[in-house]
Copies of this chain bind each other. A is one copy, B any other.
Amino acid sequence: MIRVGINGYGTIGRRVADAVMLQDDMVLVGVTKMKPDYRAAIAAQKGIPVYTPNAEAAAAFEKARMAHAGDLSKLLSEVDVVVDATPELGAEYKPVFAKHGRKAIFQGGEEHELTGLSFVSQVNFDAAKGRDAVRVVSCNTTALCRLLGSLRQGFGVSKARAVLARRAADPDEISKGPIDAIVLDPSSLPSHHGPDVQSVMPDLDITTMAIKVPETHMHLHSVIATLGGKPTREQVLEQLQRTPRMMLVEGKAGFKSTAQVIDWAREVGRPRNDVYEAVIWRESVTMVGNEVYMFMGVHQEAIVTPENVDAIRAVCGGYSAGDSMRTTDATLGIRHPA
């Protein structure tokens, strides 16, 4: 049994907490939370012990007459692995985790250098074995690595170019914009996503551009990749079809935009309408010479959930990538070919 603590209970922490509770080989010892809000109340209703990361948070919980289970040190004393899901405070917390001798999983908002290993399950699971700390990369990087890792495995990739249209805000973020503009994000090129993919796949020639658009339902990537040789469109589709954590959808089945993908997730009963898969529009997959074009949707809130679960297993050792991914995917309801 791997005893897991989660530091931070926001967009990622909440999801990883639920996913950890679904694993037969893990136990969720508790989470930390700064504010005694409705999310803390729901965690308590689920039976999740809620710890407070500092005295200020403890005072807030006490003032709100909401129970808390103790401080971060107490949580750390009871776990094997901690998942840091704070808003980019990993560098601050890393020495605290180390002082307690705990292995740690950080998120993509941190620098690659914080752990020296940027993690995507199907690309470099084995490299994480036995390490004290790894960084699960961000949503966009995770999706690009899944896709480009698969294309590289199937055909070789000599060059990748992608334009990322990013959702302006998550559905619960009411202070972010824009509401009527396309924001250059940033206006200088390339965006950080290309180099971030290279933190996982160092020898890949990739350049990315990013814009921010007024919607909350997923990022959308326009991908152009130059392949080794000239596979047929059907061969590319077959390769994607047999890649874990990829989902192929079609406009003629009703998927006209990112919003229908989220609606699909609501309809099939995914918790929080989470889409863990990188979503490829089948009819967008097009070969022009040796270039493949496609559209890929990325559910920013959800896609790294399975990677975090795998990363916990990877740093503990004793699992193969395939075994961990199959287990994670079975518990989360993700189609897992082969």
Query: Contact: B222 with A178, CB < 8 Å?
Result: no
Nearest residue, chain B, Cβ from A283? B188
Nearest residue, chain B, Cβ from A209? B222
Shortest distance from the beta carbon of A300 to any chain B beta carbon, whole Å: 12
Residues of B within 8 A of A286 (CB): 188-190
Q: A215 touches which one: B182, B187, B260 (CB < 8 A)?
A: B182
* Chain copies in complex: 2
Contact flag A186-B251 (CB < 8 Å), given A181-B259, A213-B215, A215-B213: yes
Nearest residue, chain B, Cβ from A262? B181
Contact flag A213-B281 (CB < 8 Å), given A182-B220, A188-B286: no
Query: Contact: A215 with B178, CB < 8 Å?
Result: yes
What range describes how many residues of A lie at the interface?
35 or more
Map CB proximity to B onto A210-244 as digits: 1 under 8 Å, 0 otherwise: 01011111101010100000000000000000000
A256 at the interface (CB under 8 A from B): yes
Query: Contact: A258 with B182, CB < 8 Å?
Result: yes
A161 at the interface (CB under 8 A from B): yes
Interface centre among A218, A250, A256, A286 (most CB of B within 10 A): A256
Query: Contact: B187 with A281, CB < 8 Å?
Result: yes
Residues of B within 8 A of A215 (CB): 178-182, 213-214
- List 8 contacting pairs A-B, 8 Å CB cutoff, sorted by A: A165-B213, A182-B218, A183-B257, A186-B251, A189-B284, A189-B286, A207-B288, A207-B291
* The 4 A-B residue pairs with the shortest CB-CB distance in the complex, in nearest-first order: A181-B259, A163-B163, A181-B257, A213-B213
